[in-house]
Structure 1
Amino acid sequence: MVYLAAALAEIGGCFAFWAWLRLGKPAWLALPGLASLAAFAALLTLVESSAAGRAFAAYGGVYIAASLGWLWAVEGLRPDRWDLLGGAVCLLGAGIILLAPRSG
């Protein structure tokens, strides 16, 4: 659940800048975007992991899948089968990283 919250915070923060710089929306959108990106960084510290790099790597798969959800829900573009296949592969990779048995 932390990964999903982090993904929404990161995507929302990045999209605020996208809206400002690419879609011509007001510059003040950068302020909530910055706050959202700070929340994203703080949320990732809540992930139970012995190594930050491993937590961030697993998060990458969740980020990709959440971005495809954003594409559909916010931007109104339905992901195609290749988007969905790629997202599934990324989630599988995230699952392997998170759930693999580790020694010591």
Structure 2
Amino acid sequence: MTAIAYLCAAIAEIAGCFAFWAWLRLDKSPWWIAPGIASLCLFAYLLTLVDAEHAGRAYAAYGAVYIAAAIGWLWVVESAKPDRWDLIGAAICLLGSAVILWGPRPA
């Protein structure tokens, strides 16, 4: 459930932020803001579904998923192929995310 919540949250956050990017940087209609805000609200809700004892830890671990999803967005939506450094960086972040979220902790 955590992986699905993180992946969906990342897509919602990137889509919401991209809506503002499109409006302000790509000269799209201000109407792009409405679905962007809705998408950002969905993102915030989805993070509450993560099974973590503390919000800060859930958010920190999510950061890596966001980075990997942003690299995917770069490739799929913006048609810019990630280079090896993009992929290596995303992999390092995902490893760090796993340590943060699932590392052993005293009870």
> What TM-score comes out, normalization by structure 2 length?
0.96
Q: Which amino acid aligns with 2:25?
A: R
Give the CA deviation at 1:16.
0.3
**Structure 2 residue ranges without an equivalent (≥5):** none
Q: Which amino acid aligns with 2:55?
A: A
Counterparts of 2:89 and 2:26, CA distance in 1: 27
Please, which of 70, 76, 79 is the counterpart of residue 76 of structure 1? Answer: 79
Runs of 4+ in structure 1 deviating by more than 3 angstroms, as ranges, are none
Measured on the aligned residues, the alpha-carbon RMSD in Å equals: 0.4
Q: Deviations over 1:34-83 (max 9, x none)?
A: 00000000000000000000000000000000000000000000000110
Counterparts of 2:23 and 2:79, CA distance in 1: 18
Please, which of 16, 19, 27 is the counterpart of residue 24 of structure 1? Answer: 27
Residue aligning to 2:94: 91
Counterparts of 1:14 and 1:35, CA distance in 2: 11
Counterparts of 1:99 and 1:79, CA distance in 2: 28
% identical aligned pairs: 64
Are 1:62 and 2:65 matched, yes or no? yes
**Structure 1 residue ranges without an equivalent (≥5):** none
Counterparts of 2:79 and 2:18, CA distance in 1: 14
Residue aligning to 2:50: 47
Are 1:103 and 2:88 matched, yes or no? no
> What TM-score comes out, normalization by structure 1 length?
0.99
Counterparts of 2:30 and 2:73, CA distance in 1: 22
